[in-house]
Structure 1
Amino acid sequence: MESLNSLINIFKGFSIFSVIDILVVYFIFYKGYSLIKETRAEQLLKGIILIFLLIPVSDLLNLTMLNWILENTLTISVISIIIIFQPEIRKALEHIGRTSFVDKIIYEDEEIMIGVVNEIVIAVEALAEEKVGALIVIEQMTGLGDIINTGTKIDGDVSSALLQNIFVVNTPLHDGATIIRNDKIVAAGCFLPLTNDDKLNKQLGTRHRAGIGVTEVTDCITIIVSEETGVISMALNGRLLRNYDKEKLRNVLLKIMRNRQSNKDSFKERVKLWISKKDKM
């Protein structure tokens, strides 16, 4: 009866805010685990949990030396976790930072967006036919200013002719990445971070590894043309998708950009609706 009364008292103290509190904490832990799932950090997390479980066990079994080592290890655990999970923490903070009131990918109308995509696709198809290696990065929510600063500023309108000219073999800018922001080619010859994925096909070279690497730390879209085979690939969210043709590439790019534009517009409509309701109150 005492246990039952204790359980009843616990539930009596519950309110809608208690439920919200539990759901928020659950969501945070779920999203945190999703970020490190199937990565090396997941194994490290399991090791840290094991240490936490061993402390009471070692105390119960009077394993004095082991208990002392484990307890002292916890005194530096916070710093250790920050160092160990630095890539995952950065990824999580960037993901949170992408939620903003104004979407960075803004086109005045759909015609401009379609025009940009068409110019990119025409250039990529021509480069693929000539087997000219290319690496094109399309900025989205996450700013690429630090990467842009590693290359040569251009700030020219997106055009297939300019893109093809940038990647002409043995020219100063052909060997780096070209960055596109909205309807402008902002820089070329930029350096990208390489992926650390050891499961990647060994036949893929530095251009593909760089194309994947930048999408692991930002939400950009990367288009890669193989110099050896002329195969067109796309990297997004750390994944490489290969064997694109002209129409498939165009449709995928338009779908991604339209979805982002649609999400931005729907968010603005919700804000306007909320403000109008407030004004009527």
Structure 2
Amino acid sequence: MQDFLNLTVNTIKNISVWSVLDILVVAFIFYKGYMLIKETRAEQLLKGIILIVALIPISYVLRLNMLYVILSKTITIGVLTIVIIFQPEIRRALEHLGRTAFDDIHPIQDKEELGKVINEIVNAVESLSKSKTGALIAIEQSTGLGEVIQTGTKIDGIVSSAILENIFVVNTPLHDGATIIRENRITASGCVLPLTGNGEINKKLGTRHRAGIGISEVSDAIIVIVSEETGTISLAINGRLTRNYDKEKLRTVLTKVIESKQNRRVKTAGERVKTWIKKLAKGNK
């Protein structure tokens, strides 16, 4: 016991600030990694991997040679298998990291102009909801939706409730698909969105809602959905769907979410400018 205490004390004495920082960084990475896979298929896989890793030393100590060999080989081959099977989750995680690191590359919109755009969207959605006309509108944020835009018909028109309502009129060429809004422009309509692979969502939700959730899982776009059957207004953000919005609630949430992203980009950009100024000042000394 004394030897153990001495070893513990010596270890604590030898810990430097950099060692503590190293531990904190690694812990943060593991925490963020877990949050990315939480409530996904990858979470169950992680539990299985932990179980296998725990069984390997146990089987070695108990001299269960066959079990030890099987588990060891499973870990070796498993890495490649994980990359292949969980490619969508890995891609989503990397895209999330990319959004976090570079979410200030898009221009900042004027608040008055942003308010007008939101107002036009809300008025159109309210009208579509009353007439039970299905609609799917994706409002681009930091993550570019260029690949999605290529699947539809380019419009490049101002955001207006009249245009949005006409786009989604049943049996018109562009109604069956998503309309993409970039800044203050309707960029394209009739776009094809990726469907969600989440098997836990309500089975009653149709393709329109699944597509809205799907694109929100791989981007930070805000998706407005109007149900063709009930006229219910829904929002999909970061892979989560919330329903039963009215006009005022929709306007409030859109304004709050978009402005919070804008403010974060302004803050990040401001901090970078300050850093550049400091570097220039040091260089001129």
Partner of 2:153: 152
* Mapped partners of 1:15, 1:162: distance in 2: 63
Shift of 1:275: 4.0
* Mapped partners of 1:233, 1:48: distance in 2: 37
Partner of 1:33: 34
Partner of 2:186: 185
Unaligned 5+ segments in structure 1 are none
Letter in 1 for 2:141: Q
Letter in 2 for 1:249: L
> CA distance change for structure 1 residues 81 and 140 in 2, over 3 Å: closer, same or farther?
same
Partner of 1:161: 162
Partner of 1:206: 207
> CA distance change for structure 1 residues 119 and 144 in 2, over 3 Å: closer, same or farther?
same
Partner of 1:243: 244
Shift of 1:212: 1.1
* Mapped partners of 1:222, 1:73: distance in 2: 41
Question: Are 1:95 and 2:96 an aligned pair?
Answer: yes
Q: Pick one of 90, 105, 108 that aligns with 1:106.
A: 108
Letter in 2 for 1:187: A
Letter in 1 for 2:225: I
Partner of 1:260: 261
Partner of 1:116: 117
Partner of 2:14: 13
* Mapped partners of 1:196, 1:274: distance in 2: 42
* Mapped partners of 1:4, 1:208: distance in 2: 60
> CA distance change for structure 1 residues 149 and 101 in 2, over 3 Å: closer, same or farther?
closer
1:105–1:141: 8 Å Cα contact kept in structure 2?
no
- Residue 141 of structure 1: SS of its match in structure 2? coil
Letter in 1 for 2:184: D
2:179–2:188: 8 Å Cα contact kept in structure 1?
yes
* Mapped partners of 2:190, 2:126: distance in 1: 20
| More moved, 195-204 vs 19-28 | 195-204
Partner of 2:137: 136
Percent identity, aligned pairs only? 62
Shift of 1:277: 4.4
1:148–1:187: 8 Å Cα contact kept in structure 2?
yes
2:140–2:181: 8 Å Cα contact kept in structure 1?
yes
Unaligned 5+ segments in structure 2 are none
- Residue 88 of structure 2: SS of its match in structure 1? helix
- Residue 19 of structure 1: SS of its match in structure 2? helix
- Residue 173 of structure 1: SS of its match in structure 2? coil
Partner of 1:70: 71
- CA RMSD in angstroms, aligned pairs only: 1.7
* Mapped partners of 1:101, 1:62: distance in 2: 53
Shift of 1:136: 0.3
What are the superposed Cα offsets for residues 168-201 of structure 1, whole Å, 9 maximum, x if unpaired? 1101110100111111111111111112222322
Shift of 1:218: 1.2
* Mapped partners of 1:271, 1:70: distance in 2: 49
* Mapped partners of 2:132, 2:250: distance in 1: 17
* Mapped partners of 1:96, 1:90: distance in 2: 10
- Residue 199 of structure 1: SS of its match in structure 2? coil
Shift of 1:8: 2.6
* Mapped partners of 1:269, 1:132: distance in 2: 43
What are the superposed Cα offsets for residues 30-50 of structure 1, whole Å, 9 maximum, x if unpaired? 011111112221111111111
| More moved, 194-203 vs 144-153 | 194-203
